[in-house]
Structure 1
């Protein structure tokens, strides 16, 4: 389709592959966390990062699936540096445990890709009494970013290499409820989550990213080299 093949200012289009976009880039020495890395966008991102020399930490809810992806990556690329850590974004306890264990490794953190999410799931409350889709798609990543931000700052200052926080959202964020996010009604649903529910979680991603960008822009004036991006998918 013409829409997906049209190239933008970067020289790439919506149909460009991750390998094409990263061709010629050497990520040796960089460390990245990719959430939702056991399939889809997260698995492909992990594979291509590892191909470019990045040390990849795959944050996954399903460890069995995550290990299988890691094994496939290493099979095709024996030099790949890939680790798998358990991370359930729908559980604040799991997010805190992941962040604590990550920081205890002493690893640097150059890139954080908040990718994990659920699209179609029964409406139920998480362990923290938050509607599970909203908890997974937004609240978990919000907490994870806050818990790892100091590590990213320290890495950027020590290495003088600008960090990246990437939040994967969706064009669906444009089609949330008329009032945007129903903050007072997040948990007031029954049955399956509808498209408006998913879209409001994606809108929350964008709002989080915008505010994070504003705050980091201020921090960069005192030489904290971290940039923010969000990616929209159809």
Structure 2
């Protein structure tokens, strides 16, 4: 593995550790698909939106930073003038902002095939959102839970009328294993006296996985033609550690030797989940966390379908469906 990492040796899929999103998706069309990508102004969110747009999808960039997203959009247009890329404002830490975004999106009358709940913050100092919820839980989980809740009818209608399977991808993290011992601090979400920035981050990432699991269970029960998955995107150089100056410097310098950059993230299942949709391949809903070690040639539908059966086992808490149900009920109370 080390030799492959250092020498860029290609694996069975035909791609290596350093393969880029454009290389992995070459020759694949996402034309006719509509996608929402949160946090699309930087990092892997930006690369996700850019690559989807280059492959023909109509992409809605749901972002806080409008100037950064508009700059990316202009760059994509310069490369592909026919690309369909829109920028819409979304602050996931504000339920009012999420509701406004969803309302404005629905008013466009667009279909929705793909929802990528990607945006997030990591290990930040204690703070409460505008709605009085601990900021990491509010941004990483509650905002995405509400967004999914509001656009789900549109996704169901799209998948039914088009007979194309919809896809919801929650970007979780291997860091979900760092959550509090109880998993989710239901009674102490906003208690600063027990707050740990890393534990709270793990809690929010655990919530992402539990949310996807409960969605998958409900879709199966209702025979809905949508899959919900959570994934670990791999160790990638982004701005997530900006609140930890020393760690940020290390991961942006020495990290370049062993970590992927945003353009090299497609070794994760994120692109697999998205682009096999364009090839009309049905994915088994993942009741566990997908990892960047799952590599498949996206040009080979059989490889894609097989790859999803090999996933890294998440923590016991992430597989706890009673906890997923409790989180669902708790989240519904928060958003209503």
Q: Which moved more, 1:65-74 or 1:9-18?
A: 9-18
The residue number in structure 2 matching 1:81 is: 84
Query: Are 1:173 and 1:202, in contact at CA under 8 Å, matched by a contact in 2?
Result: yes
Deviations 1:73-102 (A, max 9, x none): 111221111000000000000000100110
Q: Say yes or no: does 1:69 pair with 2:72.
A: yes
Whose Rg is larger? 2
Which residue in the other structure is 1:36 paired with? 39
Question: CA separation in 2, counterparts of 1:89 and 1:191?
Answer: 24
Q: Contact 2:126/2:197 (CA < 8 Å) preserved in 1? A: no
Task: Call closer, same or farther: CA 1:6–1:161 in 2, change over 3 Å.
Answer: farther
Distance 1:111 1:15 in 2: 26
SS at match of 2:232: strand
**CA 227–8 in structure 1, closer or farther in 2 if over 3 Å, else same:** farther
Q: Report which stretch shifted further, 116-125 or 103-112.
A: 116-125
CA distance in 1, matches of 2:98, 2:40: 15
- Structure 1 pair 8–195 and aligned structure 2 pair: CA distance change class (3 A): farther
Give TM-score scaled by structure 2 length.
0.65
* 1:147 paired to 2:150: yes
**Aligned position for 2:287:** none
C-alpha contact 1:49 1:56 (8 A) present in aligned 2: yes
For normalisation by structure 1, the TM-score amounts to 0.91
| Change over 3 Å in CA distance of 1:201–1:12 after alignment to 2 | farther
Confirm whether residue 60 of structure 1 aligns to residue 80 of structure 2: no
The CA deviation at 1:49 is 0.2
Is the strand fraction higher in 1 or 2?
A: 1
Aligned length: 231
RMSD over aligned Cα, in angstroms? 2.1
Q: Distance in 1 between matches of 2:188 and 2:11?
A: 39
Q: Kindly indicate whether the alpha-carbon contact (under 8 Å) linking 1:213 and 1:227 is maintained by their aligned counterparts in 2.
A: yes
CA shift at 1:23, angstroms?
Answer: 2.3
Q: Provide, for residues 130-185 of structure 1, a one-character-per-residue CA deviation record: whole Å limited to 9, x for no partner.
A: 01111000000000001100000100111111110010010000121111111111
* Cross-structure match for 2:48: 45
Shift of 1:21: 2.7
Segments of 4+ moved more than 4 angstroms? 3-15, 190-193
In the alignment, is residue 17 of structure 1 matched against residue 25 of structure 2? Answer: no
